[in-house]
Structure 1
Amino acid sequence: MEIAAEEAGLIGPLLLARSTVDRSALLRGDTEWLARAWADPSTRVLVVDDARALVRRGAAGAELVLLPPDRAPEGERYLLGVDDAGVAYFAVAAPLPDPAGLPGRPDAEPANLRQAGAQLDDRDAGLLVYAVALEAWHSTHTHCPRCGTETLVTAGGHMRLCPRDESQHFPRVDPAVIMLVHDGADRCLLARNPSWPERRFSVLAGFVEPGESLEGAVRREVAEEVGIDVTDTRYLGSQPWPFPRSLMLGFFARAVSYDIRMDAEEIAEARWLTREELALAATTGEIMLPSEVSIARRLIETWYGGPLPGSW
C-alpha cells in the first residue's frame, strides 16, 4: 500500500530552505564592487554572533534587525547577495549591538534559528541561515590545515587564503540523511536519542560517509541504529542545518523487517506508531515532536497527512 499523504506532497514548507536574495557569486571577487556596496547607505548588514542575530517580534511574526553599513560593528564581512531591487546584503561576525542604542529597535532581542526561524519571512530566513553557516565555518577554520598559518578572508567571505602557501579553503558542508521509516501501511518508526529528555522523539538521521550514496547511507544508518532493513528510498527535499554545517537530505524508506534492535549508544527508545497512536501521543504530550523548523517535522507530518500538535 502506498502512502497517500506522501503522494500528495510536502505538508508545509521546509522553513530553513527559503530565500529571496540572489547569492551573486560573480560579485564576490570584485573588490571594487564590494567597496562600493559597503559605502552605499541602502546596503543592509546582519550582525551575527555565535549563531544569533537581533530579531524584532510582532503580531505578524518576526523580522531581522538590519543595519546600514555606517552603523555596523567591525568584524569579518560576508557578502550574502543582492535582491531584485539592487539592495546588497552583508553579514558581519561581531558582538551583537545593544538594542537600546538602535533607533526604532529597542524591543529587539537576540535569537537563533531554532527560536525565530519559523517566524521569519522568506528573505530573512534565508539571510540568517546563510550568515550563521558562514560564521560557523569561519570561526573553526581560522588557520591553514596544511601549514598552520592564519588565513585571510577573501571572496566576500566565501574563501580563506593562506598567505604562506597560497592554498585556498572553502566553506564546508556535511551531507546528512534524515529518514522517516514506515511499514508501507499505517505505521511509522520514531526514536529517542540517549542525550534527549524523556518523551522527545524524532526520525532517524546520520551523516553520509565517504564513497557512499545517499540511498546507501539511509539503509546503513537505519540498520545500524534500529536493526531494520529498508527499501523503496524516496526523496522528500533538503534544507541547510547550520549546527554547525549540515545539509539535511530528507527521505522516506519502507521497512522490510520490523523487529527493533537498538544501538544503545545511539538510541534510547524506538517505537512503531500508527497514525492514530501518533496523533494521540502528540496531543496528550506522551511524545514531543521536533520543532517546526526541522525537516524531521515535515517528514512526520507529510507521512501523517496533516499538522500535528506540540513540539520540542
Structure 2
Amino acid sequence: MPSNANRQFLDFEKPIKDLIDEIERLKHTSEHKKIDYSDTIARLEENILEKRKELTQNLTSWQRVQLSRHPDRPYTLKYIDKMMTNFVELHGDRNVKDDKAMVGGFCQLEGETVMVIGQQKGINTKARQLRNFGMANPEGYRKALRLMKLAEKFNKPVITFIDTPGAYPGLEAEERGQGEAIARNIYEMIRLKVPVICVIIGEGASGGALGIGVGDRVFMMENTWYTVISPESCSSILWRTWEKKQVAADQLRLTADNMLSFGLIDGIIPEPDGGAHWDYNQAAQMLKDFILPVLQEIKQIPVEDRVNQRIEKFSKMGFWEEANTEAQG
C-alpha cells in the first residue's frame, strides 16, 4: 500500500486527507519539539476509520466509478500476489505477440492449482503505457482463451479478474479481429468443462469485460461498475459533451447493487471501509474468503450439469416484451 505521503485522494476523500495531513504535522512537530501527541494522533486515526466508513455509505454512482479507477486501487497482479502462491505467468497467444494488458498463469489458491487470468492496468505512467491501460488487443483475448483451454486440458478451475475501460479500439486491433476474438471467447467460455469464476475488481466495460466474463458465477466487488459503455462515452453520444457523465452514470445503473437486482451478477464482494485501495491485504482476504466456498460448491456439480446451468444462466438474462402480432393484424 502507498504510504500516507504518497497517497492520492479523490475530491470526496478530502476530509480524510485533511486528517492525515494533521497527523503528519503532529508527528513532525513531536519529532522536532519533543512533545508527546500520541493521544491526539490516536484520536485522529480513529476519526479516519470513521470517515472511511461514512464515505462508502452514501456514494453516488459516479463516485463509485471514480473509486473503481482510483490510482492506488489494487490490480490483478496485486490480488494474485496477496491471495495466491507459486504463480507462474504464461505468455503469448502463439500467433501475434504477448499482450501485456492481459496476464495469466497457473498458481495455487489454498493449495489447489487454478488458472488465473485478468486485465492489468499498470502501477505508474510507464507501466500503464506498457499495459495499454488495461485495454487488451485481440491477441490478449486469444492468449486468455489459450490459457483457459490449457486449464481445461488439465482439469483446473479458471478464475478471471476483470478490470478494463474496454477492449482496445484502435484500427490495428480491428484489423486483427477484435470483435471475433471477444465473440470466440464468449462462445468457448460458456462451454468450458471446468469451473469458472469471474470477478469484476475495477472497471467492467463493454466487450472488453465480457471477453473474460462468462462463468458459472460472476461477482462484483463493492466499488466497481459493469455496463456496455463508460459514463463519459455515453455522455458524449447523448449530450455531445462529457459534462453529463455523472447523469450518465446514474442512468446506466452500472453499480454492483443494480447489476445484482438485474440478475446480471451473482453476488457483491465487500471491500475495506473507504475502498480496496486503503488496505490491500484486507481486500485480498475478503475476496479470497468469498470465492473459496463458491469454488468448492461449483466443483461438486457434474460437468454436463455445470455447462448446461451456465448456458441457461446467460440465456435468461435481459428484459423484453413480445408483441401480439395476430391481435395487431
Q: TM-score, normalised by structure 2?
A: 0.26
The structure where strand makes up a greater share of residues is: 1
Structure with greater contact order relative to length (CA < 8 Å, sep ≥ 6): 1
